Amino acid sequence: MKSIPKLIRRFVGIMMISTMLLVILNIAFYIIMFWKYTTNISAWDIADKAAESLRFTDSGYTLSDEIAAELKEQNVWAILIDDNTRQVIWQTENLPNNIPKQYTLSDISDLSRGYVDGYPTFTGEAKNGLLVLGYPRDSYWKLVRASWDYHFIASLPKNVLSAFCMNIILMFLIYAITNSRLLRSIKPITNGIQDLSHGTPVQLSEKGILSELAANINQTSSILQKQAEQLRKKETARANWIAGVSHDIRTPLSMVMGYAGQLENTPGLTEAERKKASVIVKQSERMKNLINDLNLASKLEYNMQPLMREKQNAVAIVRQVVVDFINMDIDDKFSIEWETADTLSVCNINADKDLLKRAVTNLVQNSITHNEQGCAIYVSVAEHDNNCIICVEDDGVGVSDEQIEKLNNTPHYMVCDSNTFEQRQGLGLLIVKQIANSHNGTVLIAHSEYGGFKVSIEIPK
């Protein structure tokens, strides 16, 4: 089954795409966050600038206006610790009261790395002292005792890449394990659906994730099997009814035809009575042919007619039908023309000879039956695209475009109302279509180039 690997590939593809999108989104998020919090000037740089701008004047130490404004804006306090005495010799006005004014070397070491009373501090080297900036308590987080092994830092890129690959593999395994049960449930479901399309009975296990769907498929299969069985019974009953009626009619019809034939040849009858007997014979013969056609159509429809397909020369078969009609001494109003090219003497197809002759006979008889005023009938065999095309057409009254549309597309022979002649034509054409279909061929009905009716049978070679 191609659908299961395709489904698996789809799941894996979705998982890989979602993983890549997740990674890209995470990287973009961290880049944005890093950019947001690192684009400003660092506190260490500000401390250095403040230390450079600190000047001693007659009125004492002062900062430049720019630095003073920036410190005030960020609510940063500042002190200057003397190098010699380690006392605060200058401070900003916003210095908290709890900030010491005297520092030891140990205190200076601590504030250089971390905090003073919870305030993150940053230092800058000023003239004659150490400038200390104190930021609000919730503004910075400082690593006071950070130290890293050299080999850990050196191997960090490789370790990060390895961890990333392991995460992807782990995600794939988790995804595959969690979906394997679903995939195992899907395979019998897809097999069951395929079996349904072929008319095969389906009985799936109603367990697992897709148990409800399996139950619905089982129920559908049961309904389809019941419908198919009912249809088979109806078709068998119909075929048996047609066969039985055909059989039952033949015996009385044979008696009618026999007695009517005797009456037709009785010397003592008047001419009018003889004509009536002749009409009975002809109409009885027509009823017999109609019954035979109906029985054959039923057998072909339900595949009850055995096919004896062998390699046959279509040219020879069709020519024999034409010769048989000529030898029947048909009315002088009808002429049959053989239009097959002289260069085509053999057109081999795999066919049932008797059925193919019956199809061509029906077409020739169709032209005779529906042209009471007479017509010329043209019969031909041709080859085209590895197909054998048998064509029967006439220059008779023809049919309308609407009738041709019906004859080409109506799935049964009842293509008219009460006109029995057109019904007979339809039944004859139905048999021709069924014979063509049994040979994997097609039938096309159209207007003849001679002005009448045209039927083409196309059978693959």
pLDDT digits 0-9 by tens, 293-348: 776 776 666 665 667 789 999 999 999 999 988 887 777 889 999 999 989 999 99
Q: Percent of the chain scored above 70 by pLDDT?
A: 86
Residue with structure tokens 């590939």? 9
Kindly state whether residues 316 and 418 are assigned to the same domain: yes
Return the SS3 of 375. strand
Same domain, yes or no: 120 and 63: yes
CB atoms within 10 A of CB 393: 27
Looking at the structure, do residues 60 and 31 belong to the same domain, yes or no? Answer: no
Would you give the DSSP letter of residue 41?
Answer: P
Query: What's the confidence (pLDDT) of residue 8?
Result: 65
Are 386 and 320 in a shared domain? yes
Residue 199 lies inside a defined structural domain of this protein: no
338/451 same-domain check: yes
The residues near 386 (Cβ < 8 Å, ≥ 6 apart) are: 460, 461
Residue 315 three-state SS: helix
Terminal-residue alpha carbon distance, the chain? 33
Give 390's Cβ-side CA count (13 Å radius): 33
35 and 48 together in one domain: no
Q: What is the CATH number of the domain that holds 262?
A: 1.10.287
What does the pLDDT read at residue 411? 60
Residue 410 lies in a domain: yes
117 and 161 together in one domain: no
Distance CA 210, CA 203 (A): 14
What's the pLDDT score for residue 49? 92
Residue 221 belongs to a domain: no
With respect to residue 169, please indicate whether it lies within any of the assigned structural domains: yes
Quick one: angle between helices 211-264 and 156-197, nearest 10?
A: 30
9 and 69 belong to one structural domain: no
Residue with tokens 């081999």: 348
pLDDT the model gives residue 37:
63
Both 373 and 336 in one domain: the answer is yes
78/34 same-domain check:
no
**What's the pLDDT at 241?**
67
Per-residue pLDDT tens over the stretch 179-193: 776 677 777 888 888
pLDDT, residue 425, reads 47
Number of domains in the chain: 4
Give domain status of residue 193, yes or no. Answer: no
Phi and psi torsions of 125, nearest 5° = -80, 110
E strand or H helix that includes residue 91: strand 88-91
Q: Looking at the domain assignment, is residue 204 inside a domain? A: no
User: Cβ-count burial of 429 within 10 angstroms (0-12 exposed, 13-18 middle, 19+ buried)?
Assistant: buried
Taking 70 as the pLDDT cut, the residues of the chain under it are: 1-9, 36-40, 146, 178, 181-182, 208-209, 238-248, 295, 298-306, 410-426
Please state the pTM of the whole predicted model.
0.47
CB 115 within 8 Å of CB 140: no
Q: For position 123, what pLDDT does the model report? A: 94
The residue segments making up the domain with residue 54 are: 43-134
Residue 224 token pair = 């389809």
Whether residues 84 and 12 fall in one domain:
no
Is position 209 within any domain? no
Mutual angle of helices 353-369 and 314-327, in 10-degree steps: 40
> Is residue 434 included in any domain, yes or no?
yes
Element counts in the chain: helices (H) and strands (E): 12, 14
Residue 340 sits in a domain whose CATH number is 3.30.565.10
* Contacting residues for 271 by C-beta, under 8 A, at least 6 apart: none
As a whole number of angstroms, the distance between CA 349 and CA 452 comes to 28
Conformational region of residue 219, where left means phi above 0, alpha means psi within -120 to 50, and beta covers everything else: alpha
Contact between residue 347 and residue 313 where contact means Cβ atoms under 8 Å apart: yes
In this structure, the answer to whether residues 321 and 387 fall within a common structural domain is yes
Given the DSSP bridges, would you call strands 60-62 and 375-384 parallel, antiparallel or unpaired?
unpaired
Q: Among residues of the chain, what percentage have pLDDT more than 90?
A: 29
Beta bridge partners of 13: none
